[in-house]
């Protein structure tokens, strides 16, 4: 199987320019290295009616293509079940009955590492598990044997972060993101993951889980996000930020200009050099200015 890169949006709404910029980068990374490029719809959590269709339309409008029909996580549950059974058979999963409030209160206790699960349910007795099952369904957590794990990233170099006993199956029995994404990448032959750098801290957990499951190591490239003028992640509240609002040509212009590339996908592929990518976030701001069509013109600048 030829290795692949991928773009994996959640169908919760329209893709904004920051999402589309990441998709363009994922496509460029994959195509430049002779990889297949895949589109995966990550719809386990939430899906808004019509969002998947709109997202595919916008990606195609920018000229992006993929080598197989788009896949959906909601149709891949047998893969997750197999991985869960493998982990369970090795004694690597345990039931957790904690609520968010329980975890929040435990996290404020002395000597607890902020943001990490403190292991409250790690060593419950069988009698205690039976008692707690009467009150609340259990999630399944990974019994991690390391505290930290290191990955290699094309843009960030060697990156090490914490690995705690993270959830792999939610208490509604839905596979958690950290499990599903690892299983999907391995099953689809994805060996290169290009995504926003807000997910960089998740990579050590996912890479550690992949190692436990015997999957090959991935090549990562966590790319800078698009931020608004206040330094917050770009969102629909920031005005005209989607392709349907700005139009295909203007959107393409802004995205490729922010990367220092020609506003043509074939030409951008010829000119693409990951070493020259901007390392800071793309600061995207809206300026009230007549563009001849009666709309505000949106401008972007790269930092």
What's the CA gap between 107 and 92, in Å, rounded?
A: 23
Residue 8 counted as an annotated binding residue: yes
3-state secondary structure of 117: coil
Binding site annotation covers 177? yes
Burial call 221-248: b when 16+ CB within 10 Å, e when fewer? bbbbbbbbeeeeebeeebbbbbbebbee
30-55 burial code (b ≥16 CB/10 A, e <16)? bbeeebbbbbbbbbbeebeeebbebb
In the block, which residue shows the tokens 């990951």? Answer: 274
- Tell me if 9 is assigned to a ligand binding site: yes
| Residue 7 in marked binding region | yes
- Burial (CB count <10 Å: 0-12, 13-18, 19+), residue 73: buried
Tell whether residue 148 is among the known ligand binding residues.
Answer: no
**Residue 220 is labelled as binding a ligand:** no
Distance, in Å, from the CA atom of 283 to the CA atom of 233, rounded to the nearest integer, reads: 9
Query: Any binding-site annotation on 279?
Result: no
35 marked ligand binding residue:
no
Q: What amino acid positions are annotated as catalytic residues?
A: 236
Q: Known binder of ligand: residue 270?
A: no
Q: At what angle do helices 51-61 and 17-32 cross, to 10 degrees?
A: 60
Residue 211 annotated in ligand binding: no
Answer yes or no: is 10 a known binding residue: yes
Answer yes or no: is 117 a known binding residue.
Answer: yes
Strand extents, DSSP E, 30-109: 36-41, 71-72, 93-96
Long-range contacts: 105-113, Cβ < 8 Å, 24+?
113/162, 113/164
Is 121 annotated to bind ligand? yes
Residues annotated in a binding site for L-glutamate: 6-10, 42, 177, 195
Residues annotated in a binding site for ATP: 236
Residues annotated in a binding site for Zn(2+): 96, 98, 117, 121
Residues annotated in a binding site: 6-10, 42, 96, 98, 117, 121, 177, 195, 236
């Amino acid at each position: 199987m030829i290795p692949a890169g991928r773009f994996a949006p959640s169908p919760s709404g329209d893709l904004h320019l920051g999402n589309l910029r990441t998709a363009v980068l994922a496509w460029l990374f994959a195509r430049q290295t002779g990889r297949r490029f895949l589109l995966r719809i990550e719809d386990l959590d939430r899906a808004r009616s019509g969002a998947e269709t709109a997202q595919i339309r916008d990606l195609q409008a920018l000229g992006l293509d993929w080598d197989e029909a788009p896949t959906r996580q909601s149709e891949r549950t047998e893969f997750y079940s197999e991985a869960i059974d493998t982990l369970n058979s090795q004694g690597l999963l345990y039931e957790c009955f904690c609520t968010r409030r329980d975890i929040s209160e435990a996290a404020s206790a002395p000597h607890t590492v902020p943001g990490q699960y403190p292991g409250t349910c790690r060593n419950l007795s069988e009698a205690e598990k039976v008692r707690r099952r009467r009150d609340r369904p259990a999630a399944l957590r990974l019994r991690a044997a390391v505290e930290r794990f290191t990955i290699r990233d094309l843009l960030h170099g060697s990156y090490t972060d914490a690995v705690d006993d993270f959830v792999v199956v939610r208490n509604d029995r839905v596979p958690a993101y950290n499990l599903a994404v690892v299983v999907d990448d391995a099953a689809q032959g994805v060996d290169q993951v290009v995504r926003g750098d807000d997910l960089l801290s998740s990579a050590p957990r996912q890479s550690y889980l992949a190692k436990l499951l015997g999957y090959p190591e991935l090549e990562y490239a966590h790319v800078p996000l698009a931020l608004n003028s206040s330094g917050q992640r770009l969102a629909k509240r920031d005005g005209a930020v989607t392709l349907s609002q700005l139009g295909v040509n203007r959107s393409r212009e802004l995205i490729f200009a922010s990367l220092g590339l020609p506003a043509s996908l074939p030409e951008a592929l010829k000119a693409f050099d990951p070493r020259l990518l901007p390392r800071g976030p793309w600061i995207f701001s809206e300026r009230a200015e007549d563009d001849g069509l009666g709309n505000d013109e949106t401008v972007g600048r790269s930092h």
